[in-house]
Structure 1
Amino acid sequence: MTELWMRDLAPDLLLVNGSVTTMDPTQPSAEAIAIKDGRILALGSNAAIAALAGPATVTRDVAGRRVIPGINDTHNHLLSMGNVLNEVQLYATRSIDDIKRLVAERVQTTPPGAWILGRGWDESLLSDRRFPNRHDLDEVAPNNPVVLERVWNMLLANSAALLAADIGRNTPDPPADQLYAGRIERDANGEPTGVFRDRAKRLVQSAIPPRTIADHEAAIRTACAAFNRAGITSVAEPGLFPEQLRAYHNVHAAGDLSVRVSLCQAGWGFGSPDDDALVEQRIANVAVFTGFGDEWLRMDAVKFLPDGGIGDRTALMFEPYANEPDNRGQFVIGERDLFERILWCHDRGWSVDCHACGDRMIELVNRAYAAAQQANPNPRVRHRVHHAYLPTPTSLALMREHRIPALATIPFITNLGESFVTSLGEERASRIMPLRTYLEAGVPLALGSDAPVTTYDPFVGIYSAVTRKTVYGRVLGAEERISRLEALRAYTADAAWVTFEDHLKGTLTPGKLADIAVLDRDFFTVDDEEIKELKSVLTIVGGAVVHDETSARDNA
């Protein structure tokens, strides 16, 4: 009989010669990390960690590079971003000619009659100082239906797409008594220009061939690979429908998920009015609630979309938009329904994640969250506000008292900031996403991207938090800047707290998941302008290497 039979207790992987930032105040820094069974076994000096190695241990020398916890994006449409990565990306366009050039390039590789989709244009950044229209697209794509989503809440369609959707001058706008109805933009002759707003977008979108579950699975795999290259190891994915949840399950079951995902079901305001009527039954039929799942895939929250955005002047505000004295934005979900539906989710054990941009809507959402907790205290739900642009003093007080986190989609300051100035004026726009105010008020703060509205790159987000600069170099609210360490914490440790996962991840601590990013340059010493150019050269999720370009860089 064998006197002792046991498994190998030596680490599977060592990372040595690093500048490790753990985000754990117990031991803020280290030189090396030992990993075993997908978790962090130990941190310490190079000598202490090297002494733990066994015959099968793999040792990786990270050559003095900065090592941080894997990035956790608290508001990221991973699946949609995977689709956009295979479409025409328009985020960097600065003229209508830029848009036309990119569409023309895609036409060259697309069969006649096939749909061309894209995303990312923003009229406030175009040198033409006008909206693009269908005639612009017709010049370069006469034989393909083309639909290009704006960064948010509008789309542009060419004539072939309008024909496919059976839309013409006699097509009515959505009913005016419908919340967030939107409209078809028309020229002086009453003809559609190709621009569709708010829920009028559905008139075009309904003609686009629907994506299959296999398409969703492919998009998830595409996005996971891209996110791993950016150092992202976790996201909260908001606004999912049943077939998308199934796709995530399938990718996870196949062993192909390399980003941990907190799943937020699509709630009210996120889909069409017809879909809104089915939300309650759909959520009730799931029969589980916040926290169900494992370390890779878990049910997290119900996503609400009760107002619009600032750039398109639909966020619900107390004061009117610039040069529009009668426009204070819109309800997507009425006030009474908002309170009742938040309480309904709360009573069933679901955290609620509300899109809220306008100051009036942010205050309503926080009042509804507070009312739900007062009516039925439940420490196992954590309601939050994403975007969280313009908190009032009342909102700040409620968020502090009830520990309601602000999930600031911070890359917006850089990439959408000019549209905020156009809609609100520079003084009001400078108060959007007041990170320093949130921290000083004692409000929990975490950061996210809202990709594909804008980039998923977390280092653009951190650059935005640290500099408050738009793409044109305008500083919006210098007093709201936060430090690099504070921004990193909001993308790691504090992000994990939002979804009740801070016992699992967010810091490099013995016993926690080994989710790690090794950066190409030192996060803390590069010039501010270089922050947005930082890259992960080695990304590890659960102890497994999911992205590695260290050899190529070391040999360059």
Structure 2
Amino acid sequence: MVMVMSRQISLVCFSVLWIGSVCQSFSQTSEEAAGSLLLVNGRILTMIGDDVLMGNVLMNRGRITVVGDEVGAIPPGTEIIDLDGRMVIPGLIDSHVHFVRAGLRPGHDMRSIEAARSIAGFQTALTQKAASLPEGELITAIGGWSPVQFAENRFPTLAELDAAAPDHPVYIHLRAYGPAVTNTLARRLLQDGGINVGEDGMINTRDDAIAAYDYLKSHQTDQNRQRNTRDLMRYVNSLGLTMVIDAAGTNRPGAQLLVPERDYQSVLALWKQQEMTVRVRLMFMSWDLNVGDGSGDSDVEQRVRNSFMGFGDDMFRVAGLGEHTVNDSMSSSFYAATSLAARTGWLLQEHSGTAEENDAHILAFEAANDIAPISGLHWSLTHVHEINTEIIERLKALGAGVTVQNQRFYSTNSNRAGPPFRLIVDSGIPVGAGTDSTVGHPMNPWYSLYYMVTGKNVLGQSINADQKITRLEALRLYTGGSAWFSHDEDVLGSIEVGKLADLVVLSDDYLAVPEEQILNLSSVLTVVGGKIVYREL
């Protein structure tokens, strides 16, 4: 059973190890803040079954109150929007993404790099970004892209960055540790900070790229970090994403790093200020070498003693432990951590990409289950590129699931593809979808849906064709399937009366567009808790 604590009390004191103590008076829940909204004349893909309904959706006080032809009494002051036959889907949920960390990138992080398919296309996007900002503001693109996505299959050059944004420092960083490239202004900025940058703007070594990234982050303010987190929320809202299960980060340097005692402050501030437009479910990471019986000083032991599983509200809530629960998940410390999580009733998710990891982790799960049943806790393995039927069946027997991502979208190697979507879906195991963004993978959910449906990479090359699933199956993974992994399946993931009013009106018909056009889908109206958070209509 998961405890969900409400913000309807007058004072909430949020004391969580490493996050600090946050005490704030709240006068409204997110449901109370929302008025009434009626969408009429839509094609509604409820995800309850496979049918598309022609009709209406009425939302009141954050919940769905009517779905279908007959609306009945409309509350006074209701905003009515005619969808003119556009498709409506439940809000998309990314079940595994490093969202909080992505909101803390230095400068103005440019997620639109994900959509560029040539250097010229990226230059156009960069020029548009620069035009929206005051002169001299730093523009960055940190992870979530790859040279392979460009027709030229290379980094943009210093001269190309200068041509696109001559009045802004520009810093483009690949994956966690670089390489990176700058324009002239960013090169000068970094050199003034003692960073080695080539005459061509390239930062080629791991150490220099980490130093450059850390130097730029050192100039951030709390206001910068909150602004960037808001901007990231708006970006994903524009794509139809309404909830994320945040997979924390690592203790490694560079763009993978997340420092728990510092890096949750921005999203906490937005929560207190009631400015969140994306629901966030936190997973807490630990990197312990040794874990005791729960009374010791390891991070995971202190976390379980001093935190509350399920603490928060419908916008921001503690979801569980993961994706890294110890430093070495193949060691005895992982057995100790899983045992502790089972005994204390915590949800747990573990990074488990290889067959060797799958084998080791299922043994630890089974050992923990012998100590205290984990059925109902919604444990899972994530990534599972090489999972097989035996491991899936053993997970099912425990009441556990798996989450899958688009980690191979930038791969050109058919021998390094996966996950086996078809095998997983056919097994009936709980499964959610996501991105693992933004160090190595794009955050755009439609790229993940495209990869699952087509088996094709960013270049349109077939690399996972024998594991394709249908469009409805893929969408189900990104809605109700993902909601299961934070115990939200009863309130999110489908369009039905009584559920939280998270839904998206699409730019085109997901079920009818040619496969390649799935990549270009977006939202024209995104609603979270009955409140419009993104609108083009």
* Aligned ranges 1:421-436 → 2 under 5 Å: 421=413, 426=414, 428-430=415-417, 432-436=418-422
Cα deviation for residue 203 of structure 1 reads 5.8
SS in 2 for 1:532: helix
Query: In 2 relative to 1, CA 36–207 (structure 1 residues): closer, same or farther, beyond 3 Å?
Result: closer
Closer/same/farther in 2, CA of residues 505 and 99 from structure 1, 3 Å limit: closer
Question: 1:529, 1:27 → 2: CA distance?
Answer: 23
Instruction: Tell me the residue number matched to 1:413.
Output: 408
Q: 1:91 to 1:224 in 2, by over 3 A?
A: closer
Alignment equivalent of 2:514, drawn from 527, 537, 543: 527
Verify the 8 A CA contact 1:306 1:356 in the aligned structure 2. Answer: no
Give yes or no for the alignment of 1:17 onto 2:12: no
The SS at the match of 1:492 is: helix
The residue type equivalent to 1:546 in the other structure is V
The alignment's TM-score, normalised by the length of structure 2, stands at: 0.75
Amino acid in structure 2 at the alignment position of 1:438: I
Match of 2:358 among 339, 357, 362: 362
Q: Tell me the CA shift for residue 398 of structure 1.
A: 2.3
Distance in 1 separating the partners of 2:124 and 2:86: 39
Give the 5 Å matches for 1:211-290: 211-239=220-248, 241-268=260-287, 279-280=299-300, 283-284=303-304, 286-289=306-309
Give yes or no for the alignment of 1:444 onto 2:440: no
Amino acid at match of 1:362: N
Report matched runs for 1:332-351 at 5 Å.
333-351=329-347
Question: Which amino acid is the alignment partner of residue 361 of structure 1?
Answer: E
Q: 1:56 to 1:435 in 2, by over 3 A?
A: same
- List per-residue Cα deviations over 1:32-75 (Å, max 9, x = no partner): 11212111112121xx11x3224433322111111111111112
Structure-2 residue corresponding to 1:553: none
Shift in Å at residue 166 of structure 1?
6.8
**Corresponding residue of 2:536:** 549
Secondary structure of 1:31's aligned partner: strand
Give the whole-Å Cα distance in 2 for the aligned partners of 1:477 and 1:334.
28
Work out the number of aligned pairs and report it: 474
Pairing of 1:33-182 with structure 2 (within 5 A): 33-45=57-69, 48-49=70-71, 51-83=72-104, 86-87=108-109, 91=114, 118-122=142-146, 148-152=172-176, 154-156=178-180
Amino acid at match of 1:340: A
- Please state if 1:382 is matched with 2:370: no
Tell me: CA distance 1:116–1:503, structure 2 relative to 1, closer, same or farther (3 Å): closer
Q: Distance in 1 between matches of 2:457 and 2:129?
A: 29
Q: Does 1:460 align with 2:447?
A: yes
Alpha-carbon contact 1:164-1:207 (below 8 Å) kept: no
Question: For the pair shown, which has the larger CA radius of gyration, 1 or 2?
Answer: 1
Distance across 1 between alignment mates of 2:158 and 2:77: 62
Structure 2: how far apart are the matches of 1:362 and 1:165? Answer: 44
Q: Identity over aligned residues, as a percent? A: 25
Provide the aligned C-alpha RMSD in A: 4.2
What TM-score do you get using the length of structure 1 for normalisation?
A: 0.73
Structure 1: which 5+ residue stretches go unaligned? 1-10, 169-192, 271-276, 308-330, 551-556
CA contact (8 A) 1:133 1:156 kept: no
Change (3 A) 1:26 1:293: farther
Displacement of 1:235 after TM fit? Answer: 0.9
1:491 match: secondary structure:
helix
| Conservation of the 8 A alpha-carbon contact between 2:330 and 2:357 | no
* Alignment correspondent of 1:400: 396
Measured in 1, the distance between the counterparts of 2:59 and 2:476 equals 22
Shift of 1:305: 3.9
Query: SS of the residue aligned with 1:17?
Result: strand
Structure 2 unmatched runs, 5+: 1-34, 197-201, 249-257, 290-296
**SS in structure 2 at match of 1:298:** strand
- The answer (yes or no) to whether the contact 2:358–2:387 under 8 Å persists in 1 is yes
**Equivalents in 2 of 1:113, 1:537: separation in Å?**
29
Contact 1:79 1:219 in 2 (8 A): no
- What does residue 500 of structure 1 align with? 487
Kindly indicate whether the alpha-carbon contact (under 8 Å) linking 1:35 and 1:514 is maintained by their aligned counterparts in 2.
yes
